[in-house]
Amino acid sequence: MQTKKSSMIAMVVAAVALPLCYANVGERVAFVTNKNPSKISQLKLFKNPFGNAPELEPLTAEEKSQMVLDDLGMESSTEPRVFYTDPKRAVDIATAFMPFILRLGSGSFAEGHKLNIIPIDESKYTFSTITDKYQIEETCALDAPPTFNRGPIVLYEFEACPFCRKVRESVSILSLEVEFRPCPQGSRFRKEIKEEFGNKATFPFMRDPNTGVEMFESDDIIKYLFNTYGKDGTVPSSLEGNIVNTLTAGLGLLLRSGRGSKIRSSDPPEQPLTLWSGEGSPYAKLVKEELCELQIAHVQIGCPRGSVQRQRMFEKTGRFQIPYLEDPNTGASLYESSAIIEYLDKMYGVKISPVPFM
């Protein structure tokens, strides 16, 4: 009898106590697996005055992103800062800026770049204002980015290749969305092309699912891109197939000591990341090298000066600054090259133990 009475008391206590476990307003619960963030399940729990099961509400995109970054223990600031250079990366930034200088800014300006002075319009992106009444508007030959009905152009290439550099400049000038599949030595994507076309296959290699065109050779790819997606098919002199352009592209990369030429141990995600970038940015170049070495496929949205993609990003995020990374595998999004590199290394890099396994 005593046992039955004790059981009844325990049931009453449980019935009262359990609803109180969910009484904290705004409490968040996150289940995060260490190396598989795509399985993240995040919920908000709100106070339920009736004591029934708690009501659930998904986190906002910003909250989910911050939780992912907090879980990684990020040390670098993700707050966007204009032209900020991390002192630890000062040498890297300086050497990453050399390709821009040697290539005379090729890839930094959209095709048909123009400057206009217009009345202040807070709905439009501007890099500078003139007094409190006017602002500078940058435009280009294209009123809207090209529309891809069958997905973005796919480009197999790697950062340390001067021929690939010229193609990257061309897709930047044209403000194209391109899925990059990095092919440094030992890369899974390099193996894919070699197995399909033989060991003599070279890089860059392009596939355009919208036209069915596939081709090797940087000069041919550049001509195709400007003929298909440019205003009148004219290739800029900085991208013509001559020895001077090839040499300047190569010399600029030499100072980076082969970064982007070999893979590092990694666990690449299933879905490609999205990188808002431009070939003329030294900060973006450091991020591209990291993506290349970790074999991470990514869709790059070209944002050169004057590009309509800048306005698109401004409307999406409320500001324009590159590089800007979005990871659909985790929900994380962040600015600042140092923070992006740290994120990629912690999320997808694989540390090799200095002690061999027994």
pLDDT tens by residue, 96-128 = 999 999 999 999 999 999 999 999 999 999 989
What is the pLDDT, as a whole number, of residue 56?
A: 62
Identify the weakest region by mean pLDDT among 6-20, 220-234, 329-343: 6-20
SS3 string, 76-127, reads CCCCCCCCCCCHHHHHHHHHHHHHHHHCCCCCCECCCCEEEEEECCCCCCCC
Asked if residue 74 is part of any domain, the answer here is: no
Residue 222 lies in a domain: yes
User: Domain range holding 280?
Assistant: 89-109+150-348
pLDDT score of 22: 38
Provide the token pair at 30.
Answer: 């996150």
Q: Which residue has the higher pLDDT, 160 or 41?
A: 160
pLDDT tens-digit readout, 74-99: 999 988 888 788 888 899 999 999 99
pLDDT at position 84 is 82
* Pairwise CA distance, residues 299 & 349, whole Å: 19
pLDDT of residue 16 exceeding 60, the answer is: no
- According to the model, what pLDDT value does residue 252 have? 87
Q: In this predicted model, what pLDDT tens digit does every residue of 239-259 receive, in sequence order?
A: 999 999 999 999 988 889 889
Distance between start and end Cα atoms, the chain: 61
Neighbours of 85 (CB within 10 A): 15
At residue 15, does pLDDT exceed 50?
no
Bridge-partner residues for 208, per DSSP?
A: 213
Residue 166, CA distances (Å) to 59, 138, 150, 237, 248 in order: 42, 24, 25, 11, 10
Q: Please state whether the predicted TM-score (pTM) of the whole model is above 0.75.
A: yes
Look at residue 195 and tell me if it is in a domain: yes
Q: Reply yes or no on whether the pLDDT at 186 is more than 70.
A: yes
The CB density around residue 168, as the number of other CB atoms within 10 Å, is 28
- Contact predicate 348/268, CB 8 Å: yes
- Where do we find the tokens 């509400």? 57
pLDDT bucket at 160, cuts 50 / 70 / 90:
very high
Question: 235 lies in a domain?
Answer: yes
Band (pLDDT 50/70/90 cuts) for residue 356 is low
Taking alpha carbons only, the member of 302, 261, 218, 253 closest to residue 99 is 253
Q: Is there a domain that residue 13 lies in?
A: no
Chain-centroid distance, C-alpha 7: 58
Encode burial over 266-280: b for 16+ CB neighbours within 10 A, e otherwise: bebbeebbbbbbbbb
Q: Supply 237's token pair.
A: 């002199």
pLDDT digits (tens, 9 = 90+) for 35-76: 444 434 444 444 455 555 556 677 888 889 999 999 999 999
Q: What is the CATH number of the domain that holds 197?
A: 3.40.30.10
Instruction: Note the pLDDT of residue 70.
Output: 93
Contact (Cβ atoms closer than 8 angstroms) between residue 78 and residue 334: yes
CB 167 within 8 A of CB 292: no
Q: Could you tell me the pLDDT band of residue 20, with boundaries at 50, 70 and 90? A: very low
Query: Residue 21's pLDDT band (boundaries 50, 70, 90)?
Result: very low
Position 44 in a domain: no
What is the Cα–Cα distance from 81 to 336, expressed in whole angstroms?
Answer: 7
Total domains in the fold of the chain: 1
The model's confidence at residue 7, banded by pLDDT at 50, 70 and 90, is low
Answer whether residue 57 is part of any domain. no
If one compares 26 and 236, the residue with the highest pLDDT of the two is: 236
In the beta sheet, which residues pair with residue 276?
A: 301, 324
Tell me whether residue 300 is in a domain: yes
Q: What pLDDT does 237 receive?
A: 96
